Amino acid sequence: MRTPPILPPPPNLVFNESLSNNQRLRENDNGADALHLQERALFDGIKPWILYKKYRKKGRDLRCVLEGTKTTSTPWTDYGALETWGWQLTQDEEDSDYSHVQEQCTGVDLGDLSAGTSIIWDHLETTEHTTNGKQVPYYATNAEYINVFFPAAGVIMANVNYGPSYKTSQGLGSLDPWPKDAPLPKIKQWSDIVALTWLHLTAATTTGGSHQPQNLRWLFRRIIRNDDTQNVIGYVCKQKKVGQARPKGSTGPPWQAPVWPGLVVRPTESDGGSEGDFFNALLATPNANGVVWLLAQHREQLGWKTVKSIRVWSDLPSSVVYSPSMLLEIGDVVPAGE
């Protein structure tokens, strides 16, 4: 039977309940600071475990989406739909050289990362579309997806990605505050936009037979700032006894990922419960779950793919701002019985 983690005591056991409120405040001049530190210690101890359980459960469902025989499809198969729904394309004229990443990631066959295609999709145009016989405005959300594509190597590098939901919820859309009844563009998910871009780029180069959309092998999520993802990464690393405690004065969760080669987790990795618990939790995090939908909803074009492993690490462990990275290994699903 799995031994549950030891959690910090609840607040009523942390503080001295034998003292009145006034007495507690008079104990020293730094009572408020001490209280804040106690509350943070309590929160830091519980938060990663709670988030881990949440995403572990979601990950089990996502594994079924990836590996199940029942397909799920997206309505977005037309590259031209991006412009129709207000997305503006910026493509660097010069190749993006990520040879330094290739050199850093020793022991992994990434292929040639010296000539990537950097693509930026910005949602800057307000468009109108007919819904139930009425013209409905879809206001610009200022969403931004910045990714680098390496069709020959089979690699996608997701660098900076803030979708319409995030931008409008943070007051960063073209309207502030964002009206409650204002719809977001129908095509808005990172998975759809990246998939359409990948398919477009590979289709443009298949005349020579060198690049195929099914060649997708690796997907990077770099500069991860999402709080939930950071905490789940930290929890898994701590359970696997790798990484380090948060350096004094630094941002991020209480436990942080190690430097390269980091930690590799596969679908069979378990925390003592169901098979693949660590993997499931990482797969469901906000920075990884989009890959599930990219693969599952574009199976016809990409082939039946799954995530074979997830690697997490910290590029700059001494940096004040903690920004771990994630590398997802993509491979073919082997049907049962083969």
**Helices marked H in 270-332:** 277-284, 289-296, 299-302
Task: Give the global pTM.
Answer: 0.84
For residues 241 and 328, what is the distance between their CA atoms, to the nearest angstrom?
Answer: 21
Matching residue, tokens 């993802």: 229
For residues 287 and 291, what is the distance between their CA atoms, to the nearest angstrom?
Answer: 8
How confident is the model at residue 21, as a pLDDT? 39
> Which residues are CB-contacts of 222 (< 8 A; sequence separation ≥ 6)?
157, 158, 159, 325
For residues 277 and 49, what is the distance between their CA atoms, to the nearest angstrom?
Answer: 13
Helices and strands (H, E) in the chain, number of each type: 11, 12
For residues 268 and 278, what is the distance between their CA atoms, to the nearest angstrom?
Answer: 9
Matching residue, tokens 């007919």: 130
Per residue of the chain (338 residues), what is the pLDDT tens digit?
Answer: 444 444 433 333 333 333 333 333 333 444 455 444 444 444 566 889 999 999 999 999 999 999 887 778 899 999 999 999 999 999 988 999 999 999 999 999 999 999 999 999 999 999 999 989 999 999 999 999 999 999 999 999 999 999 999 999 999 999 999 999 999 999 999 999 999 999 999 987 544 545 789 999 999 999 899 999 999 999 999 999 999 999 988 899 999 999 999 999 999 867 776 679 999 999 999 999 999 999 999 999 999 999 999 999 998 767 789 999 999 999 999 876 66
Tell me, what DSSP letter sits at residue 70? S
Residue-wise pLDDT tens digits, 136-151 = 999 999 999 999 999 9
Average confidence score pLDDT of the chain: 86
- Calculate helix-pair angle for 31-67, 289-296, nearest 10 degrees: 20
